[in-house]
Amino acid sequence: MYSTAFLDIPPLTHAQGDVTLPGSKSISNRVLLLAALSSGTTTVHDLLDSDDTAVMLDALATLGCAIERTGKTARITGLGGKLPNPSAKLFLGNAGTAMRPLTAALAVLGGDFELGGVARMHERPIGDLVDALLQLGCDVRYKGQTGYPPLHIGLPSLRLDAPIQVRGDVSSQFLTALLMALPLVAERDIEIEVLGELISRPYIEITLKLLAQFGVTVSRPTGPNAWQRFTIPAGAKLQSPGDVYVEADASSASYFIALGAISTAAEGSNGIKIHGVGASSIQGDIRFIEAASHMGAHIESGPNWLHISRKAWPLKAIDLDCNHIPDAAMTLAVMALYADGTTTLRNIASWRVKETDRLSAMATELRKLGATVVEGADFIQVTPPPTVAAWQAASIHTYDDHRIAMCFSLAAFNPARLPVRIEDPKCVAKTFPDYFEALFSVTQSAEEHIPVICIDGPTASGKGTLAAVVAQKLGYHFLDSGSLYRITGLAATRAQIPLDVANEQAIADLLQSLPIHFEGSHIWLGPEDVSELIRTEEAGMNASRVSAFPMVRAALIDLQRRFRALPGLVADGRDMGTVIFPVAPLKVYLTASAACRAERRYKQLISKGISATLPSLRADLEARDARDANRSVAPLRPAQDAKLLDNSELSVDQSVEIVLNWWQSKQLYTSH
């Protein structure tokens, strides 16, 4: 997951390949709750691991449910409708699928509970559900504002004789919550009557299908009243089905379906294949494929897969009632940027009460990109930027809304080849923590568009630390090129090849087959973590020797350039800006006085328990500077266009800030 303040997505040109998507949020949280309430043990496979499922799992554990987890599998011992801990304070984040169903289940079971979440959860309505529970005789009180969480739940005096009325026009989750909770107390038939137009209906189908798996068949009329009345039969009992498999999330699939529709594949391959969900999914958001097809996607499907490629281009503008796909419809609003006219998405008033006011947020952010947007009470109308030149590089504010972050990443395919900045990318953790990793695994950018920041400088200037922190702050890859020379020195020594120029061919040959692999700050040579081993003074001297051999340097050039990958690279070394990445947009040449560098190295060694003396360290360091500056190939010197940074008097944080400011000053993002 990218936990950076922002993530800059370079302009993307192509997409192709396979993605396996994480489990459905709606199915995961329903199955977890049903498994906990039912009798018997349930093994849930392919469970989503995200913020929304974490709050549900924590809540169930707090309530006394035994849960064993191994990877994506959870084994849940059902409570059989009895709570061992009938008193608890539950934090439910911003998960509607946890807050609403748990409120109903705990209200009918009774106890002493407090249910709350993040600030936004306390702005998301729950009054219609509470009203229904009060009719039933439950004791539910608002701890803050009437109509909103946090809630206190006490002991009920249940009255199950009259039909329970619930409004369905703000959220379908209120009806879902009642449907899952009422089998706990179904001594007689319990009827639920929906008032107003029921929105987001396909989510009710998910609820009914999963209830059926747990042994409860809800009956309802056929014909026009099919969405008005639901009857939970007397004697209904939640019984574990044993094993449950969670489909991949169809709403998450929408970003990759869109990707297939708006991108072309690089030569020799074809489209995007999504694994884990197919056209016969029980999730309503799968119907996004119909909308995407209308816009121009070519979609094929099998039992558990989808294959998408581009058919019509530009995409065709659509006018669509999106009430049945409220979440995936946000993706259509971004696809509309690539359409041949104005796209209108209707009947989506519920967008206003989700993770943020999504109607207003989408309108604001789409406008930043250059689109013309009309925002209505319950619709949005998007007209793409009129010309390529009208596109703008935008910094997208994400409002702690995972879907805003995910759908706006698709704007990186803009024809103006502008990057897109996604603020607070970690908000995707609500349903898809590794979204951006999945995106980068199937997308490509022209090499010249993948940013590289070079940080070159002499030994002990602190460039490794600076580069690693800058890479981490930007979410970029990190190349510690010096370590490649150190590994070369180590490998040659182990192969008993003397480090002199007569053996440069043999050392260069050795490099062709070295299994080098970087993992954060760790460097692996095959199965061995050599990070510590290559940091000794001796390894440094050996590195300096082999780095003077032209054949060795040539062999390492391609290897180093391959580190330039999405979303960007910070490369630390001695010739990053002069030789390896000569057209990098930012080159920093980091120095510090010899006295200062010797002292830093001294402290470093002493802290590791290695004895050293300052004068000898300083002499070694000056000798190494002289050798590096005078070697015939790629001598150590600043690139002509490098920015010089002397950090003798600066802390690491101060140096990082300077470099990030230099980087920021090169960006074009508008955030108005």
Ligand X SMILES: O=C(O)C1=C[C@@H](OP(=O)(O)O)[C@@H](O)[C@H](O)C1
State the residues that interact with ligand PEP by CB under 6 A. 94-97, 327, 354-355, 403, 431
| Shortest separation between residue 24's beta carbon and ligand X, angstroms | 9
By C-beta, is 96 or 156 nearer to ligand PEP? 96
Tell me, yes or no, if 327 is annotated catalytic.
yes
Quick one: what does residue 403 bind among ligand X, ligand PEP, none, with the CB cut-off 5 to 8 Å set by partner type? Answer: ligand PEP
Among 28, 38, 94, 171, binds ligand X (CB under 6 A): 171
Q: Is 355 in the site for ligand X (CB under 6 A)?
A: no
Distance CA 583, CA 118 (A): 45
Binding range to ligand X, per CB under 6 A, among 169-177, 394-402, 548-556, 656-664: 169-177
**3 state SS for 585-626:** CEEEEEECCHHHHHHHHHHHHHHCCCCCCHHHHHHHHHHHHH
For 69, what's the count of Cα atoms within 13 Å in the CB-facing half-sphere?
Answer: 13
Is there a binding annotation on residue 480? no
| Shortest separation between residue 180's beta carbon and ligand X, angstroms | 10
* Torsional sign, CA 426, 430, 436, 441: positive
Residues 91-120 binding ligand X (CB under 6 A) are 96-97
Quick one: what does residue 200 bind among ligand X, ligand PEP, none, with the CB cut-off 5 to 8 Å set by partner type? Answer: ligand X
Quick one: what does residue 431 bind among ligand X, ligand PEP, none, with the CB cut-off 5 to 8 Å set by partner type? Answer: ligand PEP
* The two three-digit tokens of residue 115, written as one number: 């249910």
Distance CA 301, CA 642 (A): 52
* The two three-digit tokens of residue 40, written as one number: 């018997």
Q: Looking at 52, 128, 327, 456, which residue is catalytic?
A: 327
Among 11, 183, 326, 451, binds ligand X (CB under 6 A): 326
Among 50, 172, 444, 655, binds ligand X (CB under 6 A): 172
| Shortest separation between residue 243's beta carbon and ligand PEP, angstroms | 25
Binding range to ligand X, per CB under 6 A, among 170-178, 184-192, 407-415, 664-672: 170-178
Rg (CA), the chain: 30
By C-alpha distance, which of 320, 312, 365, 364 is closest to 342?
Answer: 320
Chain Cα centroid distance, residue 92: 20
By C-beta, is 210 or 438 nearer to ligand X? 210
Residue 37 contacts residue 238 (beta carbons within 8 Å): yes
Quick one: what does residue 46 bind among ligand PEP, ligand X, none, with the CB cut-off 5 to 8 Å set by partner type? Answer: none
Binders of ligand X: how many residues, by CB under 6 A?
A: 13
Distance CA 62, CA 58 (A): 6
By C-beta, is 97 or 459 nearer to ligand X? 97
Among 46, 52, 249, 327, binds ligand X (CB under 6 A): 327
Quick one: what does residue 365 bind among ligand X, ligand PEP, none, with the CB cut-off 5 to 8 Å set by partner type? Answer: none
* The two three-digit tokens of residue 67, written as one number: 């849960």
Binding range to ligand X, per CB under 6 A, among 195-203, 231-239, 449-457, 507-515: 195-203
* The two three-digit tokens of residue 292, written as one number: 């995407």
Q: Is 461 in the site for ligand X (CB under 6 A)?
A: no
Is there a binding annotation on residue 515? no
- The two beta strands, 297-302 and 112-116, are unpaired
Rounded to 5°, angle at Cα 188 from 184 and 189: 95
Residue 474 contacts residue 10 (beta carbons within 8 Å): no
Q: Is 383 in the site for ligand X (CB under 6 A)?
A: no
Is there a binding annotation on residue 462? yes
| Shortest separation between residue 297's beta carbon and ligand X, angstroms | 22
Neighbours of 620 (CB within 10 A): 18
Distance CA 262, CA 667 (A): 25
Residues ≥6 apart with Cβ < 8 Å to 340:
314, 315, 316, 317
Residues ≥6 apart with Cβ < 8 Å to 272:
15, 16, 17, 18, 19, 256, 257, 259, 260, 307, 308, 309, 442
Q: Is 343 in the site for ligand X (CB under 6 A)?
A: no
Is there a binding annotation on residue 457? yes
Residue 446 contacts residue 266 (beta carbons within 8 Å): no
By C-beta, is 8 or 327 nearer to ligand PEP? 327
Chain Cα centroid distance, residue 544: 40
Taking each helix axis as running N to C, give the angle between helix 173-181 and helix 127-135, from 0 to 180 degrees, rounded to the nearest 10: 30
| Shortest separation between residue 52's beta carbon and ligand PEP, angstroms | 6
Q: Is 283 in the site for ligand X (CB under 6 A)?
A: no
| Shortest separation between residue 31's beta carbon and ligand X, angstroms | 11
Quick one: what does residue 350 bind among ligand X, ligand PEP, none, with the CB cut-off 5 to 8 Å set by partner type? Answer: ligand X
Binding range to ligand X, per CB under 6 A, among 133-141, 165-173, 181-189, 336-344: 165-173
Residues annotated within a binding site for 3-phosphoshikimate: 25-26, 30, 171-173, 200, 327, 354
Residues annotated within a binding site for phosphoenolpyruvate: 25, 96, 124, 173, 358, 403, 430
**Which residues are known to be catalytic?**
327
**Interface with ligand X by CB under 6 A: which residues?**
26, 96-97, 171-173, 176, 199-200, 203, 326-327, 350
Residues annotated within a binding site: 25-26, 30, 96, 124, 171-173, 200, 327, 354, 358, 403, 430, 457-465
